[in-house]
Amino acid sequence: MRGVNLEVADSEIHSVIGPNGAGKSTLAYLLMGLEGYEPDEGEIYFNGELITPLSITERAKRGITLGWQEPARFEGLKVRDYLSIGARRANNVSEETLCHALEMVNLSPALYLDREVSEALSGGERKRIELASIITMEPRLAILDEPDSGIDVLSLKEVITMIRHLKKNGSSVLVITHREEIAAASDRASLMCDGVVVRTGDPVEISNFFKNECKPCDMKAYTLKGE
Amino acid sequence: MDVIKLDVSDEFEAMEGALELAGGDASVFKMPHVSSLVVSGNRILSANQTEGIVLEKRSTGSGVDIELTIKKGYKIPDPVHLCFGFLPKEGLQQINVSMVAEEDSSVQLVAHCTFPNSEHVIHKMDASIVVHKNAFLKYDETHFHGEQGGVEVIPKAKVVVMEGGRYFTGLTLISGRVGLLDLDYDVEAGKDSVCELNTKVHGKGTDNIKIRERISLIGENARSVTKSRVAIADNAVAEFTGITEGHAPHAFGHVDCVEVIQGNAVACAIPIVKVDNPLAKVTHEAAIGSVDKKEVETLMARGLEESEAVDIIVKGMLM
Ligand SMILES: Nc1ncnc2c1ncn2[C@@H]1O[C@H](COP(=O)(O)OP(=O)(O)OP(=O)(O)O)[C@@H](O)[C@H]1O
Ligand SMILES: [Mg+2]
């Protein structure tokens, strides 16, 4: 990754699009501060504070969180307890909060609260539960890596509703996606290609540019048009 | 109905206290409709048997001999509760158990073993278990140890499961220090039988854990699962040996071992699979390593410190 310049505004839904292998997930990991993803150069600021040296936990305590493209599984951990972990940061661990978060991702609390976040759940169910745990956290910045992946096409609308819900509750959302519908629902979009943020702007325009004018990893096309 | 009450109320209360301190529920030992047995050292503090159960017990020099029979056809509605404790700091407790589930019977046993003060205590259990045709026997044992690490737990079991029988057993040792655990179970599984062996152990300090579980699938269509979950930290060591032998057509066995290590702990898993019938199948999976990084990072991204995240993951695995 090199020369990435990206800003997410307050309560903004900002989508990041781009081809496979462009470095979108890597960007998400850098922002969250995962081990092995420390930048060689450059700085990350959050709310005016330099957070590059901060640990994952310290970033999370400031309200940054990450939803993985492929969520982890937790043997023996109940959905209820998993959701409570996020809710604790928001000082809002009530049965009502947990149920509401599950309803937001269209899972019935009665059926899911006491299940394990393990292999016993399907990939899509785990993905929904991960999104629910982000809702309970009431983050300042939610980084969502392909929140629609593994979720059936019919439910794309729910994912969009959930992202809008986060925004309405004061979160900024950085959403990595291959779905035009999600990009179109954002306030701004950035196109990433080969480790670089190629351009940022109106989501529909950026999507169209990516679809129609960007050849696979043809950085020259960008340089010509961008300059 | 046969209720024995010796004048051991002080000791009984002490055992109740130890059990409840460890999160157990002592009230079941006073329920007339629940079969139960409470043993402290070599003293039988209370015993209760209900219809369909024959419970013979004898105090010996260093422990007790127990013979438990579930009579033919009896389905025991409430779990049978057993409590073995040793309250002094030092000594030996030798428990010899013979359990027989007669044809078509069904029983569930819940055992609590509590050694809260042990500095040098040896708890040996030699069990012989026979599950007859179409019978069901489930035996779950939970240990509560003190923090001194001065217990040696040495359970040995020889188990025969006959045609259509089902045998499920679990050992959980996750509260307090393990000390030494040297477990050795040997199961012979007959035609159409189902066996499940579960162990969950959490070792710390200089705990030494040895688990050897052997299942021999001798009957056609016999099925087994051996599942062990071990978490060790500090300088603890653990060795798991899971032996499954498939000797009959359509016998199927699976061994599943996960060991998580932290600090200087050393874990070792030895799966031994032996199949001499071409129609039998035995599979195994063993994973040893530190706690999964993605799981830890996910919980940290929800605001937990790394150590809290590891704790939750380890606890979940041992649930
Ligand atoms: N841990 C790693 N070590 C080395 N290279 C890596 C590592 N992780 C990813 N990469 C490489 O970095 C590049 C960017 O990967 P990344 O996962 O960020 O892409 P992406 O844009 O998220 O793609 P996709 O749309 O397929 O999810 C890829 O070429 C990938 O092979
Ligand atoms: Mg990706």
What is the CATH number for A202? 3.40.50.300
Q: Burial of A12 by CB count in 10 Å (0-12 exposed, 13-18 middle, 19+ buried)?
A: middle
Closest partner residue to B302 (CB to CB) among A55, A73, A86 is A86
- Which residue type is seen at B153? V
Give the pLDDT of residue A154.
65
* Packing angle of the helix pair A95-104, A123-137 (nearest 10 deg): 130
Mutate to test the pocket of ligand 1, among A16, A26, A37 (most ligand atoms within 8 A of CB): A26
Yes or no, beta carbons of B300 and A86 under 8 Å apart: no
Torsion from C-alpha of B50, B159, B279, B198, nearest 10 degrees? 80
pLDDT digits (tens, 9 = 90+) for B21-76: 766 788 888 899 999 999 999 999 999 999 999 999 999 999 999 999 999 999 99
Q: Test B319 with A133 for CB contact under 8 angstroms.
A: no
- Enter the tokens of residue B94: 């030798």
The per-residue pLDDT for range B277-288, each reduced to its tens digit, is 999 999 999 999
Q: Do residue A35 and residue B317 have CB atoms under 8 angstroms apart?
A: no
DSSP per residue, A89-153: HTT---HHHHHHHHHHTT--HHHHTTSBSSTTS-HHHHHHHHHHHHHHH--SEEEEE-TTTTS-G
Mean pLDDT for A42-62 is: 93
Confidence label for B139 from pLDDT (cuts 50, 70 and 90): very high
Inform me whether the pLDDT recorded for B260 exceeds 70: yes
Residues of A in contact with B315 (CB under 8 A): 76
pTM here is 0.83
Question: How far is residue B59's CA from residue B78's CA, in Å, rounded to a whole number?
Answer: 26
**Within an 8 Å CB–CB cutoff, is residue A77 touching chain B?**
yes
Would you state the pLDDT for residue B100?
98
Residue A42 has a pLDDT of 87
Which residues constitute the domain of residue A174? Answer: 13-69+140-224
Within its chain, how far is the Cα of B131 from the centroid? 17
**Model pLDDT for residues B192-211, shown as the tens digit of each residue:** 999 999 999 999 999 999 99
Residue A199 placed within a domain: yes
Joined tokens for residue B253? 């066995």
Domain locations in chain B as residue ranges: 2-292
| Mean pLDDT for all residues in chain A | 88
What pLDDT does residue A226 have? 44
Categorize the per-residue pLDDT at A212 as very low, low, confident or very high, splitting at 50, 70 and 90: confident
Mean pLDDT for chain B? 93
C-beta of A155 in contact with ligand 1 (< 6 A): no
Query: How many Å lie between the alpha carbon of B267 and the closest alpha carbon of chain A?
Result: 20
Place of tokens 């990084």: B293
Higher pLDDT, B11 or B257: B257
* Residue A117, domain member (yes or no): no
Confidence of residue B5 (pLDDT cuts 50, 70, 90): very low
Q: How many CB pairs under 8 A join A and B?
A: 66
Partners of A64 on chain B (C-beta within 8 Å) are 301
Q: Is residue A198 part of a domain?
A: yes
Nearest-5° angle of CA B228, CA B85, CA B159? 45
Q: Which of A100-104, A108-112, B16-20, B25-29 bottoms out in mean pLDDT, i.e. has the lowest?
A: B16-20
* pLDDT at position A194 over 50: yes
**A119 CB near a chain B CB, below 8 Å?**
no
In a domain, A125, yes or no: no
Q: A102 lies in a domain?
A: no
Q: Using 50, 70 and 90 to split pLDDT, how confident is the model at B182?
A: very high
Arithmetic mean of pLDDT, A94-117? 93
Binned at pLDDT 50, 70 and 90, residue B1 comes out as very low
**Do residues B286 and B271 make contact, with C-beta atoms less than 8 angstroms apart?**
yes
List, in sequence order, every beta strand (DSSP E) within B50-105: 53-59, 63-70, 80-85, 90-101
Asked if A37 reaches chain B (Cβ–Cβ under 8 Å), the answer is: no
For residues A119-147, average pLDDT: 93
| pLDDT tens-digit readout, A146-192 | 998 877 766 888 899 999 999 999 999 999 999 999 999 999 999 99
Strands B136-145 and B166-175: parallel
Residue B7 has pLDDT above 60, yes or no: no
- CB A186 near ligand 1, within 6 Å: no
Q: What are the DSSP calls for B228-247, one per residue? A: EEEEE-TT-EEEEEEEEEE-
Q: Per-residue pLDDT for B212 more than 90?
A: yes
pLDDT (average), residues B146-156 = 93
Q: Structurally, how many domains does chain A consist of?
A: 1
For chain A, what percent of residues have pLDDT higher than 90?
Answer: 63
Closest protein CA for atom 5 of ligand 1: A26
What was the pLDDT predicted at A89?
78
For residues A43 and A55, what is the distance between their CA atoms, to the nearest angstrom? 14
Weakest-pLDDT range from A38-52, B85-99, B298-312: A38-52
Where residue A10 falls among pLDDT bands split at 50, 70, 90?
confident
Distance from CA of A34 to the nearest CA of B (A): 7
Strand pairing report for A196-201 and B53-59:
unpaired
| pLDDT at residue A219, rounded to an integer | 54
